[in-house]
């Protein structure tokens, strides 16, 4: 069984985000970039499935400029077998990405698509669900546990009321949550081997998809700075300030 894992290149989670001077977006020049943490969890889970004999091949897919290949090589160093790079310099919205992935899935015919539940830059949480809808496949979101059983995937997912268990007929789409696993670090020998692994490049036109954004960013601004707190002398003063100043009670 093949597993397709889409990955996204984002600003590293530990980098302080800075807005561009012209407020057209966030600064990415000379900023450390990494694999989206949720995508990293999806890659790790696919590798564990292969190590357990449940999968035969792991294919990572990413869309963007040539620089995303660095992120894809990281996934290969972790244990993915090959990659498909969708070369595109335009900003890609979730629905467009889902259409691109649909074309890849129809060509590769995987038994499972494992994707992070969302990217930490856009926080959309849409691509996995849209892909499942386009493919008309079963889906399980926010997975904290995945067990493969012959032609089914048993997915434990996190919901507001606790945990929910779904039994999905494969092929299916599953999006991963934080508590699913802890990704491994790529060893130096594997990093060197990853440089020689197959990485194919295609364009949206090759896949029959037109990249066209329906969203236009007008302005990006930083949130207001948090005000300093104050000390009060008594409970009565606290309640008074909550009523008259904060107006929360």
Q: pLDDT at residue 25 above 90? A: no
Dump pLDDT digits (tens) for 107-128. Answer: 999 999 999 999 999 899 999 9
Dump pLDDT digits (tens) for 142-165. Answer: 999 999 998 999 999 988 888 999
| DSSP three-state, residue 87 | strand
Arithmetic mean of pLDDT, 67-88:
96
* pLDDT score recorded for residue 229: 85
Q: Which residues contact 237 (CB under 8 A, 6 or more apart)?
A: none
Among 215, 38, 41, smallest CA distance to 125 is for 38
Dump pLDDT digits (tens) for 193-210. Answer: 999 999 999 999 999 999
Arithmetic mean of pLDDT, 175-181:
94
pTM attached to this predicted model: 0.87
Q: pLDDT at residue 98 above 90? A: yes
Q: What share of the chain is helix, strand, coil (3-state, %, to 5)?
A: 30, 25, 45
* pLDDT score recorded for residue 214: 80
Which domains can be identified in the chain, with CATH numbers?
A: 2-224 (3.40.50.620)
Q: CA gyration radius for the chain?
A: 21
* pLDDT score recorded for residue 190: 94
* Residue 169 banded pLDDT, cuts 50, 70, 90: very high
């Amino acid at each position: 069984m093949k597993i397709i894992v889409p990955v996204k290149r984002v600003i590293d989670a530990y980098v302080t985000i800075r807005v561009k001077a012209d407020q057209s977006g966030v600064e990415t020049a000379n900023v450390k970039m990494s694999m989206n943490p949720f995508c990293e969890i999806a890659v790790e889970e696919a590798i564990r499935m292969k190590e357990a004999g449940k999968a035969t091949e792991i294919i990572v897919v990413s869309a963007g400029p040539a620089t995303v290949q660095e992120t894809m090589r990281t996934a290969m160093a972790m244990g993915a077998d090959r990659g498909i790079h969708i070369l595109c310099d335009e900003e890609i919205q979730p629905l467009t990405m889902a259409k691109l992935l649909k074309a890849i899935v129809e060509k590769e015919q995987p038994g499972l698509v494992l994707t992070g539940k969302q990217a930490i830059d856009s926080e959309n949480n849409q691509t996995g669900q849209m892909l499942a809808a386009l493919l008309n496949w079963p889906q399980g979101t926010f997975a904290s546990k995945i067990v493969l059983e012959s032609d089914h995937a048993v997915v434990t997912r996190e919901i507001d009321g606790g945990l929910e268990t779904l039994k999905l007929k494969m092929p299916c789409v599953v999006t991963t949550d934080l508590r699913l696993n802890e990704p491994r670090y790529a060893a130096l020998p594997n990093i060197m081997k990853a440089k020689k692994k197959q990485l194919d490049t295609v364009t949206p036109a090759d896949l029959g998809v037109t990249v066209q954004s329906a969203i236009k960013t007008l302005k990006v601004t930083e949130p207001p700075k948090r005000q300093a707190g104050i000390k009060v002398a008594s409970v009565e003063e606290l309640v008074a300030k909550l009523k008259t100043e904060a107006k929360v009670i």
